[in-house]
Amino acid sequence: MKKLEGKVALVTGSGRGIGRSVALKLAADGARVVVNDLDAGPAEEVVAEIREAGGEAVACVGSVTAVDFADRFIKTAVDNYGGIDIIVNNAGYTWDNVIQKMSDEQWYAIIDCHLTAPFRILRAAYPVISAAAKAEAAEGRVVHRKVVNISSIAAAGNAGQANYSTAKAGILGMTKTMSKEWGRHKVNVNAVAYGHIETRMTQALAGDASKTVNIEGREIKVGIQAAAIEAGKQMCPLGRPGTPDEAAGAVYLFCIPESDYVSGQVLVCGGGLGTV
């Protein structure tokens, strides 16, 4: 029997990159997945991929920062699969600048995506999780649920990323707090802090050419100078960036039964580089 057979997993930002790999990995081990992306196309592609492999998945399209998203996300899981077992707060992006040039819009966009959105999702999930946990306790059953929040080694501070570093440090505080609040409901709350993982956000730039992605109508510059990537390889004990599939493996460790007595912890997935 698969370790996550019958579990219901919600993964934000799972139409692309790390989130996609997380959704596919959880589904491959039996989880029924609620896939989320800003755009319908990528979300539906991941749903189709999961179904073609014999799994179950449904899409919940939209921005995690929308005020109604959290309720809609939770409702999608309950309406389609009857409950919640795993929540992975993964959606995110970077919008960098030094603090003296950073606008309020830049600050709040990143804080809202990486910190406010997970707060709202967990708040919306509480009634469902609490009711299920109380019913299971009355029946004498112990069922562990899992929350995995995505952080970064940038939580320790990264020049040019005051907004992102603050948000990623904040999610660690939320993780440790929720592990204490929700332990009585048998919910394990942990975080994965990534180093350099190869995604469209961290792709190498060709020369000085800027690359952008459109996020909620904003053209956001992404990518890393090739020289910086090479320097990072030299510093990293494993000598390379990680892949999205490797990043998903770290999340998976916190979702399986073997981690039922692990809570309030931060796992750095950085090839030996970085601490938080």
Query: Which helix (H) or strand (E) is 89 found in, with range?
Result: strand 86-89
How many domains does the structure of the chain reveal? 1
How far apart CA 111 and CA 102 sit, in angstroms, is 13
Average pLDDT of the chain?
95
| Candidates 93, 164, 194, 252; catalytic one | 164
Structural domain that includes position 132: 8-195+243-269
Residues, the chain: 276
Tokens of 135: 């019913």
**Does residue 41 lie in a domain region?**
yes
User: Quick one: average pLDDT of 58-75?
Assistant: 98
Query: Which helix (H) or strand (E) is 8 found in, with range?
Result: strand 8-11
**Does residue 54 lie in a domain region?**
yes
**Does residue 180 lie in a domain region?**
yes
**Does residue 95 lie in a domain region?**
yes
User: Quick one: average pLDDT of 35-53?
Assistant: 98
User: Quick one: average pLDDT of 23-38?
Assistant: 98
What are φ and ψ of residue 148, in 5° steps?
A: -125, 115
Residue 145 has pLDDT above 60, yes or no: yes
pLDDT band at 225 (very low <50, low <70, confident <90, very high): confident
**Does residue 23 lie in a domain region?**
yes
Active site annotation includes 164: yes
**Does residue 122 lie in a domain region?**
yes
**Does residue 96 lie in a domain region?**
yes
pLDDT band at 267 (very low <50, low <70, confident <90, very high): very high
How far apart CA 25 and CA 155 sit, in angstroms, is 26
**Does residue 224 lie in a domain region?**
no
Residue 10, pLDDT score? 99
Q: What is the CATH number of the domain that holds 138?
A: 3.40.50.720
* Nearest CA among 75, 62, 72 for reference residue 8: 75
Residue 209, pLDDT score? 55
How far apart CA 124 and CA 10 sit, in angstroms, is 13
Residue 105 has pLDDT above 60, yes or no: yes
